[in-house]
Structure 1
Amino acid sequence: MPALKKTVLTVLSAVLLSVCVVGPAGAADKDKTDDKQPKPTGPMSTVGGKRLGEVGTQVELGPGAPVLPKKLTGRSWIVADAENGKVLAAHNAHWRLPPASTLKMLFADTVLPALQPKTMTHMVTEEELAGVGEGSSLVGVKEDHTYTVHDLWLGVFLQSGNDAVHVLAEMYGGVDATVAAMQRHAEELQALDTKVVSPDGYDAPTQVSSAYDLTLFARSGLQKADFREYSATATAQFPGEKKKGKKRGTFGIQNTNRLITGDIGVEPYKGIAGVKNGYTTHAGNTFTGVAERDGKVLLVTVMNPSSEESHAVYKEAATLLDWGFASSGKVTPVGELVPPKSAATGTGKGARPAGGSSKAEDRPAAAASPAAPAGSSGVWIALSIVGGLLVLLAAGVFLVNRRWPLPDLVRRLPRR
């Protein structure tokens, strides 16, 4: 064979081999090279792992793993295992963006436990509805009418009613007190991208969250049975207005989460069990969902996808869930959903933002060890240190492997 021919064949072989090797990674990282997509302008947080603070798509495909869906337009998104907290893939996960009504997940997770029992009734006043923003989504709460806490929460989750939010906030202690409590709870959950200004997610200067934080709110809320019930309910009856001489009636409301109820161009997603959608002019569409399939529970959040396609936020969330279920066990996690501060001892992974802290008060205290007997050699001290390290290691392993069960995930889909 002529030398020139051998050289050509060698070069072609090398080119083909390189294409085969880099093909899947290139497909998975397509979003990184899309110059048309908006990008974060400043540094992002690294809570949950260094890679979650990097710009663009983060994914580690293993053998047999499908590539990520094409044409994802969300400015920020994340797919995570709801139970062990492992992040399977993410795109600008810590980009601080307006959350719209997905912030109601934090509102519910903060306020819901305090307003019990859910049969508690409340007479609504004009003042309680005065602060509802112009153009807000409403469920139809009326002043001088009585509602149960259960009614109001259905109004929050199904119709994203800002009127119901404001009444519940007043019952909790007022809007200002509720906003302060939500901010404290966000910090407890280590949702450090979040700045709360309004309890309902209504556009307000400086009010932001992130796909990462919204996923933390959903994961925390889903530990609560009432939260799971409300977020998964498809349809309900809401108390109507009183009319003289007639018994007070009700009217039907339907969940605006299209992966639960479906819509033109969107089919109900198999295994969906909540959580919350949102929209404002400033935020665009936002959505966090949870779904179960074959014993695996996944969380997905998508923020501000392209407005050119109808229901893009639901379609992209559904394709990411499909990818997540198909990729189970075939990808290396790129980060984790950290536990709340109260669930961490300061020694486990995720107890602090990745990278640690240089402040002495933020560092874990040294493990206590028994005093060495008088006259003993350094062997006892060494054994004590090793014992302390083993205790710290065991605590860390417990936190890393701790599963967050999501019992009784429910779907209340309309009968067809």
Structure 2
Amino acid sequence: MTIGFSFRTVASRSAVARAALTCSAVCAAGLLAAAQSPAVALTDAGPGAPRPAAPPPSTLYQQGTQVRPRADAPEVPDISALSWVVADARTGDVLGAHNAHRRLPPASTLKTLFALTVLPTLPGTTLHTVRERELEGIGAGSSMVGVAEGITYRVADLWRGVFLNSGNDAVHVLASMNGGWTSTAAQMQAKARSLGANDTHVISPDGYDTPGQVSSAYDLAVFGRAGLRNPDFARYCSTAEAMFPGEGSSTYGIQNTNRLLTGANGVERYPGLIGVKNGYTTNAGNTLVAAAKHGTRTLVVTVMNPQAGGGLAVYEEARSLLDWGFAAAGRVDPVGTLLDTRAVPAAGPSAPAGSAAR
């Protein structure tokens, strides 16, 4: 029996055992161990030999908290977020979730999909001199890293501006280099679908509040897991501090706004944290995709819009879910899986360079 339970209620033990599992690699530039496990193949058995049981159906589209605990499973923490997911980054198994496919504004966690889409098209060593029109249309109140017209940047600098400072100015410049604002949004939409992320609707590539722009905790976990397979993505999302080019030959320091990574502003750093991306807008509230590695296990957690605890709750709720996920590994049966992304091709430009940005 598959057990789903509503918020703040612990489920009873499930009697269903899972016997087939497809594993996939996580690549993260010195942060994750590269390991690959092929799908388990059935051996030739006689006509009377017992067959393995089929995996139980996913419950991720059901409302409320979904978990399949065994007798010794730890209790699911008390989480106020509208939606969350805890998944094993190597296998894609979802250990637990709450309203996993609920469509909500993603804020800057959508930049994970932006990076998945655009990183393969723009080598980090490429030099680019920023033009005035590339900085037009940045939404009021946007987070900025300080990209300025007339300064020549390496693409790698701009990516650090995206991942550390969540700089919408850096996103606008990279999107312009990638073929334009509208083209990049279309590419991101296609990339999401190719990854099996069907809850996501992209309008503004930087995650800025825009009517109709949504994602889900499930989709964001898919993006985070896929990102960890890209060494550049993994390196950028795990960088706590960097120097950013200023006027002339000057530079200035920038710090990652993901407080679980930096331990800043009263949030204790989470041991083994890799990244990935945090966000905030008025409509989305606080959102977070976090990944951490303990021993040989890496977990991806998404938290969308905590309803209690203030602005730091997203970090503390992610911490609780990571703690639970590491403790629950091997003590719960999956309630679903993130799609295997090994064979997904990199998304490329679909429009000529120089198309108008928003």
TM-score (norm 2): 0.80
- 1:275 maps to amino acid: V
Measured in 2, the distance between the counterparts of 1:307 and 1:144 equals: 44
Structure 2: distance between partners of 1:240 and 1:79: 39
Q: Deviations over 1:130-165 (max 9, x none)?
A: 021111000000001110001000000000000000
Q: 1:63 deviation in Å? A: 2.0
- The answer to whether the Cα contact below 8 Å between 2:60 and 2:97 also exists between their aligned partners in 1 is yes
Which 4+ residue blocks in structure 1 deviate beyond 4 angstroms?
A: 340-344
Question: What's the CA shift for 1:50?
Answer: 3.8
Matched, 1:60 2:61: no
- Find the counterpart in structure 2 of residue 277 from structure 1: 278
Q: Match of 2:146, as an amino acid?
A: G
Report whether the alignment pairs 1:155 with 2:161. yes
- Asked whether 1:81 is paired with 2:82, we answer no
Q: How many residues align?
A: 298
Q: Provide, for residues 23-73 of structure 1, a one-character-per-residue CA deviation record: whole Å limited to 9, x for no partner.
A: xx99x754369xxxxxxxxxxxxxx95410011000111121110112x10
Distance in 2, matches of 1:310 and 1:196, equals 25
Distance 1:294 1:212 in 2: 24
- Alignment-mate amino acid for residue 334 of structure 2: P
Q: Distance in 2 between matches of 1:179 and 1:235?
A: 29
- How do residues 352-367 of structure 1 correspond to structure 2 at under 5 angstroms? none
**What amino acid does structure 2 have at the position aligned with 1:52?**
L
SS of match in other structure, 2:84: strand
Deviation, structure 1 residue 264: 3.4
CA distance in 2, matches of 1:49, 1:151: 44
Alpha-carbon shift at residue 173 of structure 1 (Å)? 0.7
Q: Deviation of residue 310 (structure 1)? A: 3.8
The CA distance in 2 between the partners of 1:284 and 1:210, in whole Å, is 14
Report the secondary structure of 2:146's partner residue. coil
Counterpart for residue 102 of structure 2: 95
Distance in 1 separating the partners of 2:92 and 2:57: 12
Q: Of Structure 1 and Structure 2, which has the larger fraction of its residues in helix?
A: 1
Seen in structure 2, the aligned counterparts of structure 1 residues 272 and 126 have a Cα distance that, compared at 3 Å, is same
Number of the residue aligned with 1:222: 228
Name the aligned partner's letter for residue 338 of structure 2.
Answer: L
Contact 1:188 1:342 in 2 (8 A): no
Structure 2: how far apart are the matches of 1:266 and 1:158?
Answer: 17
Q: Secondary structure at the match of 1:77?
A: strand
Partner of 2:319: 318
Structure 2: how far apart are the matches of 1:340 and 1:69?
29
Overall identity of the aligned pairs, in %: 57
Does residue 265 of the first structure (1) align with residue 271 of the second (2)?
Answer: no
Report the equivalent of 2:43.
none
Structure 1 position 205, deviation (Å): 0.7
Q: Which runs of 5+ in 2 are unaligned?
A: 11-55, 346-358
Provide the residue aligned with 2:304 in structure 1: 303
Shift of residue 191 of structure 1? 0.3
Partner deviation per Cα, 1:87-145 (whole Å, 9 max, x = no partner): 000000000000000000000000001001x1111010110000211110000000011
Cα RMSD (Å) of the superposition?
A: 1.9
Whether contact under 8 Å (2:67, 2:96) holds in the other structure is: yes
Q: Counterparts of 1:212 and 1:319 in 2: how far apart (Å)?
A: 18
Rounded to whole Å, the distance in 1 between the matches of 2:236 and 2:183 is 24
Look up the SS of the partner of 1:31 in the other structure: coil
Letter of the structure 1 residue corresponding to residue 335 of structure 2: V
- 1:195, 1:207 within 8 Å by CA — same for their partners in 2? yes
| Deviation digits for residues 350-382 of structure 1 (CA, Å, limit 9, x no counterpart) | xxxxxxxxxxxxxxxxxxxxxxxxxxxxxxxxx
**What's 1:176 paired with?**
182
Using the alignment, how far apart are the partners of 1:219 and 1:228 within structure 2? 10
Q: 1:154 to 1:49 in 2, by over 3 A?
A: farther
**Residues in 2 aligned to 1:264 and 1:139: alpha-carbon distance in whole angstroms:** 19
Following superposition of structure 1 onto structure 2, how do residues 110-259 of structure 1 map, counting pairs within 5 Å?
110-116=117-123, 118-242=124-248, 248-259=249-260
CA pair 49-169 structure 1, distance change in 2 beyond 3 A:
farther
8 Å CA contact 1:32, 1:56 repeated in 2 = no
Specify the SS of the correspondent of 2:229: coil
TM-score norm. by structure 1 comes to 0.69
- Whether the aligned pair in 2 keeps the contact of 1:189 and 1:341 (CA below 8 Å) is no
Secondary structure of 1:53 counterpart: coil
Alpha-carbon distance in structure 1 between the residues aligned to 2:155 and 2:110: 19
* Inter-CA distance 154–82: structure 2 relative to 1 (3 Å threshold): same
Task: Structure 1: state its 5+ residue gaps.
Answer: 1-24, 34-47, 243-247, 345-416
Q: How many angstroms apart in 1 are the aligned matches of 2:9 and 2:134?
A: 46
Counterparts of 2:115 and 2:344, CA distance in 1: 20
Distance 2:313 2:73 in 1: 24
Amino acid at match of 1:57: T
